[in-house]
Amino acid sequence: MTPFEYLRAGDPGEAVAAVAGRPGAAFLGGGTNLVDHMKLGVAGPDLLVDVSRLPLDRVEETAGGLRVGAAVRNSDLAAHPLVRERYPVLARALLSGASGQLRNVATTAGNLLQRTRCPYFQDVTTPCNKRVPGSGCSAIGGYTRYHAILGASEHCVATHPSDMAVAMAALDAVVVVLGPGGERRLPIGELYRLPGDAPQRDTVLEHGDLITAVELPHLPAARRSAYRKVRDRASFSFALVSVAAVLDLDGDAVRDVRLALGGVAHKPWRAARAEEALRGGPATEDAFRRAADAELAGARPLPGNEFKVAMTRGVVVAALRDLAEEGR
Amino acid sequence: MNARITLRVDGRDRPVALDTRTTLLDALRDRLSVTSPKKGCDHGQCGACTVLLDGRRVVSCLILAVACDGSEVVTAQGLVEEGEPHPVQRAFLEEDGFQCGFCTPGQICSAVGMLQEVKAGHPSQVTDDLTGPVTLDDEEIRERLSGNLCRCGAYVNIVAALREETAPSEETSPRAETSPSEEAES
Amino acid sequence: MTVRRGAVGAPAPRVEGLAKVTGSAAYAYDRPVADPVYACPVQATIARGRVVAIDGGAAAGVEGVLAVVTHREAARLADTADAELAVLQSDAVAFRGQFVGVVLAETPEAARQAAGLVRVEYDEEPHDTELRADRAGLYTPEQVNGGFAPDTDEGDVDAAMEAAAVTVDRIYTTPMLFNNPMEPHTSVAVWGDGGDEGGGGPGEARLTLYDSTQGAHVVRSTLARVFGLPPERVRVISPYVGGGFGSKGMPHAHNVLAGLAAMAVPGRPVKLALTRQQMFSLAGHRTPTIQRVRLGAGADGRLTAVAHEVVEHTSALKEFAEQTAVGARMMYAAPNRRTAHRLAALDVPVPSWMRAPGEAPGFFGLEVAMDELAQACGLDPVELRARNEPEVDPESGRPWSGRHLVRCLREGAARFGWEERAAVPGTRRAGRELVGLGVAASTYPYYRFPGSRAVVGYDGSGRYTVRIGAADIGTGAWTVLTQIAADALECPLGAVRVEIGDSELPPATVAGGSSGTASWGSAIVAACHAFRGAYGTEPPPGAEAGADMPRDPDAERFAMHSFGAQFAEVRVDADTGEIRVPRMLGVFSAGRIVNPRTARSQFIGGMTMGLSMALHERGVLDHRTGHVVNHDFAEYHIATHADVVDVDAVWLEEEDAHAGPLGARGIGEIGIVGAPAAIANAVHNATGVRVRDLPITPDLLLR
């Protein structure tokens, strides 16, 4: 770890100015990802601006929705009565991530900005385009069990590791960003990038941009929602694949559906094709399977992770079937 | 870069000057000689370093000490009050909830923090009804302690210890009543 | 001669329990030392070649750095016959992750930063890390671990297979596995020149090591040889050990590195703790195995042929040949038997002992094959095994000291509800889950190693001290030895204090091979009897007597093994392939159980590690670089709480009249043996899918 200065910011504006003004500066939230990366040599900031104690730690009710402060801890968000009642998919996703100890520390913004768990990204002795642009991708031709089947590029096949973000993608959350130029709102679908030829950039945020809140829109249908995560261990491990699903039924027909996938792409993957295939149609297992297949038609698995196609199909069908049964 | 901070550790104020790079775990172990939290992985993946930070269980290896200035830290050592082990520590002894003992202080701090979370009504991944009250059955205990690895494989005894600890005091576990060796030949 | 029952057989709580639950037990790194120096190793980033240049300039410039030690600066060792321990003695690199240097600094932060700044240039040579059964260069080792012959061949296996009514001929594989004790390997080394803890006179170099080891004396004797010191000038102190599972059974390179590093700062203790990641290249591992198992049987399931032929790896640097097929030599009655071990010497880290070396991987192949045979014969797997019980040891012809496998199987079947097992695989469902039951047999040899000595002393006020350099790595040895001594002295448990974990104590063999209780325990019984013989029941203050472990003539006359039956229930999610193990039961026959409380923990701990081996563990070697890609606990999964639901163990109440004065055969390893096969067989029963390659992961069960 390289030496760094530490500054506890007094307010968000001060924090943004401090980081924006110094190329080597970084925000410190809970630190569960950043401190890990600093130990591994993946990150080496020369100034840490601690934003974990800024007054961004509240969950507030808005017109039908919720506004979640960026510094709200994952465990507190999952335990919040309104989240549990209105957005069970989000509470479930949060609770399926990491461990109790980590959820007590990790923040909402930090969780959104987690970096990939690709083992080559995390090992500075191996090439990685995300860590060192142009050095090559070690995962291609290597160990790919946790890698992407959708939206990857020849430069990077990493996946986004967050569970929470998958639920937020399904919920059409909006991310509030304070930058040197002021505040702006980004739909979560526009926050994340696919790797393309610049995998070093996970999101569209610029240096100095600070996420201050996440807004969850009014979505009554989300009261019937689920998060299913398939992994190699029963708990405390990253997803092989996961699905966040919201299902709104009108009798036996699908009035509306929201589907997002985790563990399959460089970003939380909103399954728009599957949603389109389902809307207005019957809520049957057959329809769920065809919808999953429509989404997965674009899958390009790697040698070593071909199983993710069938596994994704299985978990999507299971999640939707369970929600449909719950609704009958 | 150096910083001066004060941590309140196991009930005592501990001012310390340290490198900003020092984690809370290393501050406790290397600077303050508080060695009950253990370093099993140093990356938040095993739970051996678990302490209670301002009342909540955390992995101390991924937290910078400098960010904890003014905070209260309780380790497994600090759970002992006036020479008396904490009820959770006694339950671990009773059920043989450990073997090599290295993950044990972390398991115990995690369990103490977990019980407080349950008391506060926090759900877990395996809670069926997210909006109802939380009942701490075996499945809940296992899920909530899954951030603490034990290579000796004391898991079932740890769960038994917490089952004992959370059960009404007059009840005893069926396992405690008969020794397996007595059963084997019957 | 046996000992009276009293303390032995009682579920005494661990004598060190309070220290462990309150966190006051001091493991190697925790020992308070004055003015410590922190060491951080530099590791090779190539798998084979030479170091051609090292620039430690930037590292040395980091504030607080005291020394950068590479092969150029390091002292020459006196004995480099053990290539694994010839640390920093040349520019050669034999595997990725090997030590090429070490940085010493006043703080751990500075040491780590500086180690990252050491620039190493290599002349890289092509490396070879891939184990395949069809590769060139496979060779037959002179012997395999345990001193066994590499190959055996009885009768005519090929002809018997040809003639057999039913045959199984399959390949089974197990991956590279890592012991991963929770406490990383740690050595705190200090060089002195006489005085307090290290012994030796003034002016004589002496080395003190606070170490995490399964055998203080083996570390002492090995390091004394490597550093060219008489053993009495090396002291190894190690009362608390955070698990080992074989990986701390012998010194590894870090012990030598700590000693070399400490030479740069004489008088100051150097703290070296491997990181979790470093353990994957420097603390031993279990070789991957490729096992061909052939079984031939009559239509009634009676075996006519058993062949177990294994291909596995070792390191080009140092040979370790796991005895994977040895268990097949004695397990079942078959007139025609063949076993073989072939090794590939690869550019990989040095493999070593891991819990039940040989039996743990070998009984995956053998016991899944037995399940396949049962299926092929239309026999219940319990019945198939019962039909193949040998009267005497097929290998040696000796009588069994006590073989109760069939009782274990029958007892387990009754307790587990074996009759609920579906006869046709894939036909039992519970909601969306497929349910299956599986069984496998276990065995582990009785080992009692010579070389231990115990000394009993009396303080004059009712307290006895028993001194022996044994190790309690979580096994319960501390408690069990106290119980044994109390009974042998015929005094209350509380009157005995056992001292272990220090090379200044009388010598003791390593805590390995499930041998501790039998080896150390019989030395203690002999010492206690010698003490009572010399002083009677009213010894004077300061009375002392010692004894070596007595010889055990029965070990030459009998085939002595523990046995067990492992049962597992699995549930497989039909949508996702997720596998859960709601129940496991082990029924063991291991001779006398000295402490039911700690014994049960040992059995279920082994079974839990077996569950982990079955479902989770796989070291992934990237053959392009020769490194273990998934070298941490986020990627190399071991079972956690949520994976382990109801694991229970019971045992037959017995005493092995031939297993020394205690009648106990050892319990530390048998719990892992057969557990993965029981789970694999249950998965087959649940799904109809026969998985022959560990681990069994959800992707293998998707339909």
B71 with B10, same domain: the answer is: yes
Contact B39 C642 (CB under 8 A): no
Q: pLDDT of B81-120, one tens digit each? A: 999 999 999 999 999 999 999 999 999 999 999 999 999 9
Q: Is the pLDDT reported for residue C323 higher than 60? A: yes
Smallest Cα–Cα separation from C16: which of C473, C592, C524?
Answer: C473
What residues of A are in contact with residue B159 (Cβ under 8 Å)?
Answer: none
pLDDT digits (tens, 9 = 90+) for C634-644: 999 999 999 99
At residue B185, the pLDDT reads 34
- Chain A residues within 8 A of C112 when measuring between CB atoms: 1, 39
pLDDT at res. C193: 77
Residues B100 and B164 in one domain: yes
Of B54, B79, B104, which closes a domain?
Answer: B79
Residue to mutate among B64, B74, B139, with most A CBs inside 10 A, is: B64
**C106 catalytically annotated:** no
The answer to the question of residue B181 being in a domain is no
Instruction: Provide φ and ψ at A186, rounded to 5°.
Output: -125, 120
- CATH at B169: 1.10.150.120
Q: What pLDDT, on the 0 to 100 scale, is given for residue B176? A: 36
CATH code for the domain defined by C33-126+183-242+249-282: 3.90.1170.50
Q: Which of A1, A101, A231 to mutate to test the interface with B (most CBs of B within 10 A)?
A: A101
Q: Which of residues 180-239 of C touch B (CB under 8 A)?
A: 180-184
Q: Count CB-CB contacts under 10 A for residue A186.
A: 18
B chain contacts of residue A234, beta-carbon cutoff 8 Å: 146
End residue of a domain, out of B52, B79, B106: B79
How far B126 CA sits from the closest chain C CA (Å)?
A: 10
Q: Does the pLDDT value for residue C211 go beyond 50? A: yes
CATH 3.20.20.20 fits C152-178+286-446+557-701, yes or no: no
Determine the structural domain holding residue B46 and report its residue range. 2-79
Which chains neighbour C (Cβ–Cβ under 8 Å, 3 or more pairs)?
Answer: A, B
Q: Work out how many CB contacts closer than 8 A connect B with C.
A: 206
Q: Do B165 and B96 fall into the same domain?
A: yes
- Using a CB-CB cut-off of 8 Å, the residues of chain B touching C641 are 141-143, 145-146, 148, 155, 158-159
Question: Nearest 5°: phi and psi at C369?
Answer: -60, -40
CB pairs under 8 A between A and C: 85
Task: Point out the catalytic residue in the list C312, C395, C617, C669.
Answer: C669
Which whole-number Å values give the CA distances from C124 to C69, C344, C626, in the listed order? 22, 21, 12
* A98 in B contact zone (CB under 8 Å): yes
Strand partners, C174: C289
C680-C686-C687 Cα angle (round to 5): 90
Angle (deg, nearest 10), helices B155-166 and C596-615: 120
Q: C176 pairs with which residues across the strands?
A: C619
Question: Taking CB atoms and an 8 Å limit, are A78 and B122 in contact across chains?
Answer: yes
Percentage with pLDDT > 90 across chain C: 97
Question: Chain A contact for C123, CB < 8 A?
Answer: no
pLDDT 10s digits, C600-611 = 999 999 999 999
Chain A neighbors (3+ CB pairs < 8 Å): B, C
Inter-residue contact A51 to A12 (CB < 8 Å): yes
Number of domains within chain B: 2
| B37 min Cα distance to partner chain A (Å) | 14
pLDDT tens per residue, range C390-446: 999 999 999 999 999 999 999 999 999 999 999 999 999 999 999 999 999 999 999
Per-residue confidence in pLDDT tens, chain A, 328 aa: 999 999 999 999 999 999 999 999 999 999 999 999 999 999 999 999 999 999 999 999 998 899 999 999 999 999 999 999 999 999 999 999 999 999 999 999 999 999 999 999 999 999 999 999 999 999 999 999 999 999 999 999 999 999 999 999 999 999 999 999 999 999 999 999 999 999 999 999 999 999 999 999 999 999 999 999 999 999 999 999 999 999 999 999 999 999 999 999 999 999 999 999 999 999 999 999 999 999 999 999 999 999 999 999 999 999 999 999 987 7
CA distance B118 to B144: 10
* Residue C7 burial class via C-beta count within 10 angstroms: exposed 0-12, middle 13-18, buried 19 and up: buried
Q: What is the mean pLDDT of chain C?
A: 96
Strands (DSSP E) found in C460-524: 464-467, 496-499
Which 60-79 residues of chain C touch chain B by CB within 8 A? Answer: none
Is the pLDDT at C486 greater than 80, yes or no? yes
- What digits encode the pLDDT tens for the residues C224-270? 999 999 999 999 999 999 999 999 999 999 999 999 999 999 999 99
Shared-domain flag, residues B51 and B99: no
Point out the residue among C112, C113, C575 whose CB comes nearest to the CB of A315. Answer: C575
Residue C350 has pLDDT above 60, yes or no: yes
Q: Do C576 and A119 touch (CB under 8 A)?
A: no
CB A311 within 8 A of CB C699: yes
CA distance B26 to C271: 13
Range in C170-179, C188-197, C546-555 with the lowest mean pLDDT = C188-197
Q: Is the pLDDT of residue B169 over 70?
A: no
Q: Indicate if the pLDDT at residue C201 is higher than 70.
A: no
Q: Which of residues 154-193 of A touch C (CB under 8 A)?
A: none
Cis peptide before B87 (omega within 30 of 0): no
> What's the confidence (pLDDT) of residue C202?
59
Domain end position, chosen among B30, B49, B79: B79
Spatial distance between the Cα atoms of B64 and B184, rounded to a whole number of angstroms: 52
Cβ distance of A123 and C699 shorter than 8 Å: no
Q: Which residue of A has its CA nearest to B125?
A: A95
C620 and A317 within 8 Å at the Cβ level: the answer is no
pLDDT of residue C3: 53
Environment class of residue A82 by beta-carbon count within 10 Å: exposed (0-12), middle (13-18) or buried (19+)?
Answer: middle
Q: Are residues B46 and B24 in the same domain?
A: yes
Which chains have 3 or more CB–CB distances shorter than 8 Å to chain B?
A, C
Q: What is the pLDDT at residue B175?
A: 38
Closest CA of chain B from A224, distance in Å = 12
> Cβ C576–A125 below 8 Å, yes or no?
no
Three-class DSSP category at A207:
coil
Q: Do C23 and B142 touch (CB under 8 A)?
A: no
With an 8 Å Cβ cutoff, are C181 and B185 in contact? Answer: no
Q: Does the CB of B56 have a partner CB in chain A at under 8 Å?
A: yes
Chain B residues within 8 A of C645 when measuring between CB atoms = 138, 142
> Is residue B139 situated within a structural domain?
yes
Closest CA to A160 of A120, A128, A192: A192
> Rounded distance, CA A231 to CA B43, Å?
20
Residue A119: list chain C partners with CB under 8 A: 629-631, 635
Q: What is the pLDDT of residues B121-138, one digit of tens each?
A: 999 999 999 999 999 999
Same domain, B91 and B165: yes
B75 interaction partners in chain C (CB closer than 8 Å)? 23
Chain B residue numbers touching C360 (CB-CB < 8 A)? none
- Residue C637 sits at the chain A interface (C-beta within 8 Å): yes
Alpha-carbon distance C140 to C314, whole Å?
12
Which of B61, C593, B56 is CA-nearest to residue A103? Answer: B56
Burial of A179 (0-12, 13-18, 19+ CB in 10 A): middle
Of A85, A95, A235, the CB nearest to B131: A85
- Which of C:625-684 have CB within 8 Å of B? 632-634, 638-642, 644-653
Which residue in chain B is spatially nearest to A4 when comparing CA positions? B1
**CATH number, residue B16:** 3.10.20.30
pLDDT at B177 over 60: no
Residue C5: band (very low, low, confident or very high) from pLDDT cuts 50, 70, 90: low
Residue C211 identity (one-letter amino acid): D
For residue B177, the distance in angstroms to the closest alpha carbon of chain A comes to 31
For residue B62, give how far its alpha carbon lies from the nearest alpha carbon of chain C (Å).
14
Specify whether B72 is located in the same domain as B106.
no
Tell me which of B112, B125, B139 to substitute to probe the interface with A (most A C-beta atoms closer than 10 Å): B125
Chain C stretch 524-543, residues whose beta carbon is closer than 8 A to a beta carbon of chain B: none
Q: How far apart are CA C399 and CA C401, in angstroms?
A: 6
Interface test with B, best of A104, A111, A115, A224 (most B CBs within 10 A): A104
A134 DSSP 8-state letter: T
Q: For chain C, give every residue range classified as CATH 3.30.365.10.
A: 17-26+449-550, 152-178+286-446+557-701
Residue C104 has pLDDT above 70, yes or no: yes
Q: May I ask the CATH class of domain C17-26+449-550?
A: alpha beta
User: Inter-chain contact A4–B20, Cβ cutoff 8 Å?
Assistant: yes
Q: How far is C277 from chain B (nearest CA, A)?
A: 8
Mean pLDDT of C45-67: 98
CB-based burial label for A201 (10 Å; 0-12, 13-18, 19+): middle
Q: Which of C629, C635, C640 sits opposite A142 (nearest CB)?
A: C629
Domain A222-327, what fold?
Enolase-like; domain 1 (3.30.390)
**CA–CA separation, C385 and C382 (whole Å):** 5
Given an 8 Å threshold on Cβ–Cβ distance, is A125 in contact with C627? yes
Rounded Cα distance between A121 and A99, Å, is 22
Structural tokens at position C77: 């060792």
Q: Are C215 and C205 contacting, i.e. CB atoms less than 8 angstroms apart?
A: no
Same domain, B98 and B133: yes
Q: Is residue B182 part of a domain?
A: no
Between chain A and chain B, the number of residue pairs with CB atoms below 8 A apart is: 111
Residues in chain B: 186
Alpha helix (H) ranges present in C149-298?
Answer: 157-163, 216-227, 253-262, 276-282
Query: How much is the pLDDT for B173?
Result: 38
**How many whole angstroms separate alpha carbon A11 and alpha carbon B29?**
33
Chain C partners of B158 at a C-beta cutoff of 8 Å? 641
Q: What is the pLDDT of residues C361-372, one digit of tens each?
A: 999 999 999 999
User: Whose CA is closest to C471, among C230, C168, C248, C152?
Assistant: C248
Q: Where residue B181 falls among pLDDT bands split at 50, 70, 90?
A: very low
What dihedral do alpha carbons A142, A147, A152, A157 form, nearest 10°? -40
Instruction: Name the residue among A268, A273, A214 with its Cα closest to residue A242.
Output: A268
The answer to whether residue C153 scores a pLDDT higher than 90 is yes
Backbone angles phi, psi at A95, to 5 degrees: -70, -20
Phi and psi at C456, nearest 5°, equal -110, 135
Query: Which of A1, A125, A311 is the closest to C699 by Cβ?
Result: A311
CA nearest A224: which of A185, A269, A257? Answer: A257
Give C534's contacts (C-beta < 8 A, 6+ positions apart).
C543, C545
Report if residue B146 sits inside a domain: yes
